Amino acid sequence: MMHVDRYEQIWIRLSVFVLIAFILAVLTASVSAGIQVPGVVQRVDPNTVTEPGSPWAEPGLRELAPGKYEAYILAQIWVFTPDEIRVPAGSEVTFYVTSKDVQHGFKILDTNINMMVIPGQVSKLTARFDEPGTYTMVCHEYCGVGHHTMYGRIVVEPTQAAAE
């Protein structure tokens, strides 16, 4: 049998233990905080992405079912189209965001939405808006001199039941 020094054995066990602890920490954080990793959903041609037939030709909110929406957002220097979306509280919104020109970012404050927006690629994430209020969406990837002016908002309106 191969001889492993006692101290080396201790260090090997310790390294394995640390790895397992890290994996558990990542799993716990992702499940309890609802972290979603944005993946590549779809590829598009940034040159034709706003032509008729493309969902970004008329970007905006579409209702799929009561309380369920999808939002197509077009990013370009230095604006999001649309730059305002209104949904009732308790809504679940899936965002499909793409860029017409350069790389942008898409982050909605106080939600789990935080992704890069790359021309040629569609970024997708889903968020639930339970609390009425205004949620700011910002571009958080530097995209030129007007980068700091690139923002919009999600207005979550109180539902009838909550307003009464």
Of 93, 53, 100, 51, the closest CA to residue 74 belongs to: 100
Stretch that binds ligand CUA, among 59-67, 81-89, 136-144, 152-160 (CB under 6 A): 136-144
CA geometry: angle 34, 35, 36, nearest 5 deg: 115
Tell me which of 97, 113, 147, 152 binds ligand CUA, using CB under 6 A.
Answer: 147
The verdict on 139 binding ligand CUA (CB under 6 A) reads: yes
State the virtual CA torsion across 26, 32, 34, 36 in degrees, nearest 10.
10
119 near 100, Cβ under 8 Å?
yes
**137 interacts with ligand CUA by CB under 6 A:** no
Segment near ligand CUA (CB under 6 A), from 9-17, 81-89, 139-147, 154-162?
A: 139-147
> Which residues of the chain form contacts with ligand CUA (CB under 6 A)?
78, 104, 139, 141-143, 147, 150
